[in-house]
Structure 1
Amino acid sequence: MRKLIADNFAFADSQYHYLINAGLPLDEMPQSFNYTTNKVTGYERTWWCTGFYPGNLLYIYQQTKDESLLPEIRRTLKVIQPNENYTGNHDLGFMMFCSFGNAISILKDASYKKILFQSATSLSSRFRPHIPAIQSWNKSKNFNCPVIIDNMMNLELLEWVSQHGGDRKFAEIALQHANTTMKNHFRSNYSSFHVVDYDTSNGTVLQKKTWQGYADSSSWARGQGWGLYGFTMMYRFTKNKKFLEQARHIAHYILNNPKLPIDKIPYWDFSDPKIPNVPRDASAGALIASALLELGQYTSGKEKSNYVTNAEIMLQSLSSPGYRSKLGSNGGFLLMHSTGALPFNSEVDVPLIYADYYFLEALIRYKNWYL
C-alpha cells in the first residue's frame, strides 16, 4: 500500500498538469470529460463541485511538494471565493471546505479562515428551525422544502467554524440537521432515501423520493456513501455515540449487501434490477473507502480490521487499470467509470472531479493512519 499510494500521487501530479492545461475558460472549474468531443467539461463557480478541483490540487501539492501547482491553486481559490456569500443551495461545504478548509491546513494560510466563517453564515441562512434541518434546494414544482442525504457532508463546515472561534450556533444547526436526517432519511435496514420533502411550517414529512437513484424505494450508492461519511464525521466533532452507531449500521448495509461486487466498487444503485449490466460508480467507491478509513479510527479489533480491509480493496481496485486512467488520457482526470445522474443520462460512465477528490483523500488517510 505504501508503494501504491506513492505511485498514485506521482501519477496524479503528472496527470493534473494535463488537466491544468485543458483549455477551460478561466472562470470555470473542471468537472468531467466528454469522450465524444474529446474535451474537458467545466462549470462556473456556483456549481456544487467547484471546490473539488482546488482541493485535489492541494492534496497533490501536500504529498508531492510540487510548487508548480501553487499558482493554479491560488488562482482557483480566488475564482470561487465569492461563493462565501452564496445562499442559492446547501452546497457551501463542498464548495468552500473542500477548497479553503484544505488550504488552511495544507498551506497554513490563516487569511482564509474568515472566508470559511462567512461561508458558514451563508449556509446557516438555509436552516429551517421548524423541521429542523438545512434546506438543500429551493422550492420547485417537484418539492416544497427538500433535504437530501448529500447535505450531511456540508455539516463539516459548520462544525469546523464553531470549533475554531466561530459562533456555536453553527454546531447546533449541524447537530439538529444530523438528528433530523437520522430520524427521517433511513429505512429499517439503514439504506437511505435520497430526498425527504418537508412542510416548513410544522416539519411534517410530505414525501420521500429519489432524484438521482433508480427509484424512490431504491438504495442509491453514492447516497449511502454520503450518509456513511457524514455520520462518521459528525461523531468526530461531537463524540455522540448515536452518530457512531448510525455510521456502523450504514457500513454494515453497504459491506454486507449481496449486490456489492467482489472488487467493492458499487454499481450506481444497489437496487437496480439489471445488475450486473449497469454502470459502476467509482465516486461512490472512493467516498465509501474514505469514510470507512475514518470509521476504523473509532472502532477496534475485528470491526476495525473489516472496515480498513474493505477500504484497502477499494483503493486497490481504483488504482488498477480497470478504473485508473492512463497517463495523458481521460482529460487529465485520475479515475474512470463514475456515474453522476443516470436517470437524466447525465455524466454516466465518465470521470468526475469528486471521485478524484475522495480517492486522493482516502489514500492520504490510509497513509496517515494505517502505515
Structure 2
Amino acid sequence: MNKLLSLSVLATTLLLSSCNNAPQEEPLAKVIDRGLKASTEQALLMAKDLEQQEGRLPKSIKDGKLETSDCYWWCSGFFPGELWYLYESNPTPELKKYAELFTERLEKVQHVTDNHDVGFMLYCSYGNGYRLTQNPGYKDVLVTGAGSLCTRFNPMIKAIRSWDFTNNGKWQYPVIIDNMMNLELLTWASKTTGDNRFHDIAVTHANTTMENHFRDDYSCYHVVSYDTITGKSHIKMTHQGYADESAWARGQAWAIYGYTMMARETGSPEYLAQAKHIARFLMNHPNMPADKVPYWDFNTPDIPNTPRDASAAAIMASALIELSQLDKSEEAKSYLDFAEQQIRSLSSPEYLAEKGTNCNFVLMHSTGHLPGNSEVDVPLSYADYYYVEALMRLKKLI
C-alpha cells in the first residue's frame, strides 16, 4: 500500500507541476498598458515624422511608403484623436503639443458641406480635444461643423446624404451605414448649444437607417439609395463589400458602434435593442475567426484565404465594451468577454507592429476597399484610433 500511495503522490505532483508550467494568460491590465505604450511610441514617431510636413495627416501605406492626406480626406481626424486619447492616458506636454498641432490642421473642415464625414473628422479630433481641455476655440469649431453637417439633411427623405456622386446614375440619394458614426457630433452639439435641431436630425437619421438598412438577421446593407421624389428606398447594395447581400465586416462594425452610441446619447431602448441584435449577429457568425478579427467580408467565398480587417475588430471591440455597460441584462458580460478576446488578438505580434515598423502605424492587417483594390492588408489610421479608444474604455473599467 505504501508503494501504491507513493506512486499516487508522485503522479499528482507531476500533474500539478505540468499545470504550473502551462503558459499563463497575460493579465488584461498588462495587455492594456502594453498596447497603450506601443501606441504612444508609434504615434510619437509618426508625429515627429510629419511635424514639418504642413497640413499632412497619416492615412495608410502605399507601395511600401507612408501615405498621407490633407484635412479634407474623411480619415483626417483619426490621428489627432488618437493623440488626444494617448494624452488622456499619459498627460505629458509632448503628447499635448502634438495633439494640438495635428488637431489644428483640421480647422478648415468646420466649413465643409460636401462631405458627410465632418462628424468623423471633427468629433474625433476637436471633440476629444475639447473634452480634455475645454478650449473654447475647439467648441466653436465643433458647433460650426455640426451646422455644416446639417446642411446635408433632407427632411423629406429623413436622412443625411452621404455621397454626392451617383454611381453612374444608379443612385439618387445615397446613404451609407458609415454615416451613423457622424451623428455623435450632432448629439453633442444639441446638448452643448441647447438647439434641439441637431438632436432631431440625428434621431431622424438613425430611425430611417434602422428601418431601411437592416436585413431580418440584423446584418446591414452598405448603401441604400432613396428616391428623391417619393423619399422611399429604391436600391440596396454594397460599394466596398463582396456582394450586395453580403455582410461587409466594417459596415457591420459601424452599425453596432452607431446604435450603441445612439443608445448612450438618447437613452432609447429601441437603439439599445438594435445594438444587441447586431452584436448577436456578429458574435455568433459561423465565419467569425477563432481570434475574433473578422475577414474583410463575412460572406466572401475564399474564406479563410482572404484578408482580415483589424479596423473592423477594433471598432467592434470599442462598441462592445460600451454596450456591456449600457445593457443591464445577463448578456452584458458576453459582450465584454468578446471584446477582451479581440483586444488580446490585436495586441498580439500578429497584429501589433513592433516599434519603428509599419510606417509608425500601430496595427497591421486592415482592409479598406478590397473590390477597388485599395488599401488591402495595410495599416489604417482609423484602426489605430478605435484600438486606442477600446484600450482606454477597458482601462477605465479596470
State the TM-score, normalizing by the size of structure 2: 0.90
Structure-2 residue corresponding to 1:297: 325
Superposed CA offset, 1:30-78 (max 9, x none): 01123x3x42101111110000010011111111223112332222222
Whole-angstrom CA distance in 1 between matches of 2:99 and 2:150: 27
Question: Among residues 17, 24, 41, which one is paired with 1:14 in the alignment?
Answer: 41
Superposed CA offset, 1:282-332 (max 9, x none): 000000000001110112353011000000000000000000001110011
- Asked if structure 2 preserves the Cα contact closer than 8 Å seen for 1:283 and 1:339, the reply is yes
Question: Among residues 61, 78, 90, which one is paired with 2:116 in the alignment?
Answer: 90
Q: What letter corresponds to residue 269 of structure 2 in structure 1?
A: K
The percent of aligned pairs where both chains have the same amino acid is: 48
Whole-angstrom CA distance in 1 between matches of 2:316 and 2:129: 23
Classify the secondary structure of the residue corresponding to 1:131. Answer: coil
Classify the secondary structure of the residue corresponding to 2:390. Answer: helix
Note if 1:237 corresponds to 2:265. Answer: yes
- Asked if structure 2 preserves the Cα contact closer than 8 Å seen for 1:281 and 1:338, the reply is yes
Q: What letter corresponds to residue 43 of structure 2 in structure 1?
A: Y
Question: Among residues 7, 15, 31, which one is paired with 1:4 in the alignment?
Answer: 31
Superposed CA offset, 1:103-126 (max 9, x none): 011223233111111111000000
- Asked if structure 2 preserves the Cα contact closer than 8 Å seen for 1:9 and 1:64, the reply is no
Superposition deviation, residue 101 in structure 1:
0.6
Structure-2 residue corresponding to 1:66: 92
Residues 214-225 of structure 1 aligned to structure 2 (within 5 Å): 214-225=242-253
Superposition deviation, residue 166 in structure 1:
4.1
Whole-angstrom CA distance in 2 between matches of 1:129 and 1:253: 31
- Asked if structure 1 preserves the Cα contact closer than 8 Å seen for 2:222 and 2:241, the reply is yes
Structure 2: which 5+ residue stretches go unaligned? 1-27
- Asked if structure 2 preserves the Cα contact closer than 8 Å seen for 1:10 and 1:64, the reply is no
Note if 1:286 corresponds to 2:314. Answer: yes
Structure-2 residue corresponding to 1:310: 338
Aligned residues: 368
Note if 1:75 corresponds to 2:128. Answer: no
Note if 1:50 corresponds to 2:38. Answer: no
Residues 12-161 of structure 1 aligned to structure 2 (within 5 Å): 12-23=39-50, 25-34=53-62, 36=63, 38-140=64-166, 141=168, 142-161=170-189
- Asked if structure 2 preserves the Cα contact closer than 8 Å seen for 1:128 and 1:200, the reply is no
- Asked if structure 2 preserves the Cα contact closer than 8 Å seen for 1:22 and 1:331, the reply is no
Structure-2 residue corresponding to 1:254: 282
Whole-angstrom CA distance in 2 between matches of 1:137 and 1:297: 34
Residues 194-209 of structure 1 aligned to structure 2 (within 5 Å): 194-209=222-237
Whole-angstrom CA distance in 1 between matches of 2:97 and 2:318: 28
- Asked if structure 2 preserves the Cα contact closer than 8 Å seen for 1:28 and 1:44, the reply is yes
- Asked if structure 1 preserves the Cα contact closer than 8 Å seen for 2:369 and 2:376, the reply is yes
Q: What letter corresponds to residue 112 of structure 1 in structure 2?
A: Y
State the TM-score, normalizing by the size of structure 1: 0.97
Structure-2 residue corresponding to 1:340: 368
- Asked if structure 1 preserves the Cα contact closer than 8 Å seen for 2:272 and 2:327, the reply is no
Change in Cα spacing, 1:28 to 1:166, as seen in structure 2 (3 Å) is farther
Superposition deviation, residue 4 in structure 1:
1.2
Classify the secondary structure of the residue corresponding to 2:376. Answer: strand
Whole-angstrom CA distance in 1 between matches of 2:74 and 2:302: 30
Note if 1:169 corresponds to 2:200. Answer: no
Whole-angstrom CA distance in 1 between matches of 2:117 and 2:207: 19
- Asked if structure 2 preserves the Cα contact closer than 8 Å seen for 1:22 and 1:40, the reply is no
Residues 180-195 of structure 1 aligned to structure 2 (within 5 Å): 180-195=208-223
Whole-angstrom CA distance in 1 between matches of 2:61 and 2:249: 22
Change in Cα spacing, 1:188 to 1:301, as seen in structure 2 (3 Å) is closer
| 71-80 or 92-101: bigger deviation | 71-80
Structure 1: which 5+ residue stretches go unaligned? none
- Asked if structure 1 preserves the Cα contact closer than 8 Å seen for 2:362 and 2:379, the reply is yes
Q: What letter corresponds to residue 100 of structure 1 in structure 2?
A: Y
Superposed CA offset, 1:217-239 (max 9, x none): 11000000101000111111111
Superposed CA offset, 1:134-171 (max 9, x none): 00001422421100000000000000110112421010
| CA RMSD across the alignment | 1.2
